[in-house]
């Protein structure tokens, strides 16, 4: 396994590539299971003044599924692809989404994720070693970057469950 560069989450579990992809596939259903039949007030409640609500976490997970999915696609389809940084807090704060539409938001995430999964499953072993350039982190390699995404999502799923009092 390649080491992740500084600034990336390190996945403690030693998952195969197929298991990594399975984790990416599982996220939308895990979110649906956590959100379940929660009412809007529960979804919008902030656990603390400076913490994201459960709905904010859902918006962020949808955003990163799209952003990272495009970064993975660029890595696969372009040589030395450049990944601009983005303001994740600003995207969450400025999103026009409503908590009453949380299931549609998760469906969007699942849609973005389907293309990502298809592309990752198509990669030969050497494809997992392709690289891109992140505006802040510098050179990243596909496999450790996917591992980073799985860990990132795992942490936010725990944050989502905690915001809903499900921990």
- Model pLDDT for residues 7-53, shown as the tens digit of each residue: 555 666 789 999 999 999 999 999 999 999 899 999 999 999 999 99
Residue 120: what pLDDT? 98
Let me know: does 75 contact 122? Beta carbons within 8 Å. Answer: no
From residue 84, give the alpha-carbon distance in Å to each of 65, 67, 113, 129, 135.
15, 10, 20, 20, 5
Reported pTM: 0.91
- Sign of dihedral through CA atoms 31, 34, 36, 42? negative
SS3 (DSSP) at 134 = strand
For 129-143, write each residue's pLDDT tens digit: 999 999 999 999 999
2 pLDDT band, cuts 50/70/90, is: very low
**Given a cut of 50, is residue 152 above it in pLDDT?**
yes
Q: What's the start-to-end Cα distance of the chain, in Å?
A: 31
Average pLDDT (151-165) is: 95
**Average pLDDT of the chain to the nearest whole number:** 93
For 112-131, write each residue's pLDDT tens digit: 999 999 999 999 999 999 99
In the block, which residue shows the tokens 């990752």?
A: 120
CA dihedral 159→74→66→125, nearest 10 degrees, is -60
């Amino acid at each position: 396994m390649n080491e992740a560069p500084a600034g990336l989450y390190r996945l403690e579990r030693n998952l195969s590539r197929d298991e990594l992809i399975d984790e990416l596939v599982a996220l939308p259903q895990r979110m649906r299971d956590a959100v379940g039949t929660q009412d809007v007030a529960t979804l919008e409640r902030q656990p603390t003044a400076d913490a994201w609500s459960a709905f904010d976490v859902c918006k962020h997970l949808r955003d990163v599924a799209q952003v990272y999915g495009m970064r993975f696609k660029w890595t696969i389809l372009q040589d030395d692809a450049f990944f601009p940084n983005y303001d994740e807090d600003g995207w969450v704060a400025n999103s026009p989404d409503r908590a009453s539409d949380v299931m549609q938001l998760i469906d969007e995430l699942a849609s973005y994720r389907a293309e990502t999964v298809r592309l990752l499953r198509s990669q030969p072993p050497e494809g997992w070693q392709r690289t891109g350039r992140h505006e802040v982190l510098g050179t990243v390699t596909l496999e450790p970057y996917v591992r980073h995404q799985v860990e990132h999502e795992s942490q936010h799923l725990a944050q989502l469950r905690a915001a809903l009092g499900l921990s």
